[in-house]
Amino acid sequence: MWGKSITISLFGESHGEAVGINITGLPSGIKLDLDFINEEMKRRAPGKSNLSTSRKEMDTPEILSGYFEGYTTGTPLCAIIRNRDTHSKDYDDLKNLMRPGHADYTGVMRYNGFNDYRGGGHFSGRLTAPLVFAGAICKQILAESDIVIGAHIKSIKDVEDATFDDMNLSSDLFENLRTSQLPLIDKSKETLMRQAILDAKLEGDSVGGVIECAILGICAGIGEPFFDSVESTLAHLAFSVPAVKGIEFGLGFNMTKLYGSEANGALYYEGDMIKTKTNYNGGILGGITTGMPIIFRCAIKPTASILKEQETVNLSEKKEATLRIKGRHDPCIVQRALPVIEAIAAIGMLDLIKRTQCQSV
Ligand SMILES: Cc1cc2nc3c(=O)[nH]c(=O)nc-3n(C[C@H](O)[C@H](O)[C@H](O)COP(=O)(O)O)c2cc1C
């Protein structure tokens, strides 16, 4: 379970009956935009192209509670997404043969061997479908205050897109990115990125990459230092997304290469708004929003389940073994994780906003 003013708890397994989420703390009387929710679900859903797993799931959420006559009731809102296209036989070997890079071994250790290993069980990327559902509701609530969230693929393997120009971001750009299969600022990189994924797939291998996310329209003064600072909140949620191995804010690690005079960002008045001339701190100082765009990047590792033969151990025989994974897997997770990163950004910021009041200076 995560959250203070909005709480979410995830449940389900990849090849069980369903995956789902229970959300508490949502305001009552929100008219849910079901079309928008379904569009968001489709952005993450598998089986749309040769760049993702061939598992075909509609990912239509069924709302079980907290929703009446088109509006949220304010009581816990629970939704499930049924698993339809399961090929559980493909996973028979994985009861004993641990996939390198996946959570098979750690899952066995944590749950004493009682974990559902089929399709990755509770560690499957499918658990991110309910996160996107919750994120869509939070995005809708944030949009009422003109807070918008967008993301693009910053890189796949060593193919790089441009970086967000965070002094000139607009919701129009986000709309454009939303509808692309590979959301890129520099469209000329699309062929190279697609090729990097397909080349890896052809080799029975996988690739990873970086997602860059921006949040616009947040006023200054949001965040609950120390432990629920904006960075802590977003990092906590981002690291709950399977395959995320790093996060940085603003210039992140590259900030260490600047002098303070270059990194700081001079303050100035634009009308009665206080702004900074640069935004290398990613819209956050002292764990609190500055009013500038919040910018962060997440590193997504190459998919663990690859078709190449790998070395591992056989738990029942207690000896080393080789593994050839069957199953259907994403040769690259990045493009499917992108709406999930937007979703956690929406959930995290709504939780913080509900706890803090913006100050006008
Ligand atoms: C949208 C999405 C789809 C994923 N698809 C796969 C997949 O097809 N095969 C796989 O091995 N891992 C996939 N993963 C990642 C694994 O769930 C993850 O690597 C695993 O649970 C181990 O956790 P960790 O990488 O965070 O340590 C996916 C993750 C996401 C967010």
Q: What is the pLDDT of residues 176-193, one digit of tens each?
A: 999 999 999 999 999 999
Pocket probe for ligand 1: among 124, 128, 306, the residue whose CB has the most ligand atoms within 8 Å is 124
d(CA 148, CA 139): 7
| Residue of minimum CA distance from atom 2 in ligand 1 | 125
pLDDT for 354 equals 95
Is the peptide bond between 11 and the residue preceding it cis, with omega within 30 degrees of 0?
no
Phi-psi group of 257: left, alpha or beta (phi > 0 → left; psi -120 to 50 → alpha; rest → beta):
alpha
| Residue of minimum CA distance from atom 8 in ligand 1 | 329
Helix (H) or strand (E) holding 312: strand 310-314
Confidence class for position 7, pLDDT limits 50, 70, 90:
very high
Q: Measured in whole angstroms, how far is the alpha carbon of residue 267 from the centre of its chain? A: 32
E runs forming strands in 145-252: 148-156, 159-160, 209-216, 244-249
pTM of the entire predicted model: 0.97
Least confident of 105-114, 328-337, 352-361: 352-361
Alpha carbon of 125 to ligand 1 centroid (Å): 5
| Residue of minimum CA distance from atom 7 in ligand 1 | 329
What is the residue-averaged pLDDT of the chain? 95
pLDDT for 199 equals 97
| Residue of minimum CA distance from atom 3 in ligand 1 | 125
| Residue of minimum CA distance from atom 29 in ligand 1 | 125
Q: Which atom of ligand 1 is least distant from the CA of 304? A: 11
Alpha carbon of 128 to ligand 1 centroid (Å): 10
pLDDT for 85 equals 82
pLDDT for 360 equals 52
Alpha carbon of 208 to ligand 1 centroid (Å): 11
Length of the chain in residues, anyone?
Answer: 361
Average pLDDT on 249-263 reads 98
Alpha carbon of 360 to ligand 1 centroid (Å): 43
Alpha carbon of 242 to ligand 1 centroid (Å): 5
d(CA 228, CA 243): 23
| Residue of minimum CA distance from atom 14 in ligand 1 | 125
User: ∠341-203-314 over CA atoms, to 5°?
Assistant: 80
Average pLDDT on 3-11 reads 97
Is residue 153 classed as helix, strand or coil in its secondary structure? Answer: strand
| Residue of minimum CA distance from atom 20 in ligand 1 | 102
pLDDT digits (tens, 9 = 90+) for 197-224: 999 999 999 999 999 999 999 999 999 9
For the four alpha carbons of 251, 261, 165 and 144, in that order, the dihedral sign comes to positive
Is residue 353 classed as helix, strand or coil in its secondary structure? Answer: helix
Alpha carbon of 304 to ligand 1 centroid (Å): 7
In the structure, which protein residues have their CB atom closer than 6 angstroms to any atom of ligand 1?
A: 53, 102-103, 120, 123-125, 128, 241-243, 301, 303-305, 329-330, 333, 336-337, 340
Pocket probe for ligand 1: among 104, 122, 333, 344, the residue whose CB has the most ligand atoms within 8 Å is 333
pLDDT digits (tens, 9 = 90+) for 115-125: 999 989 999 99
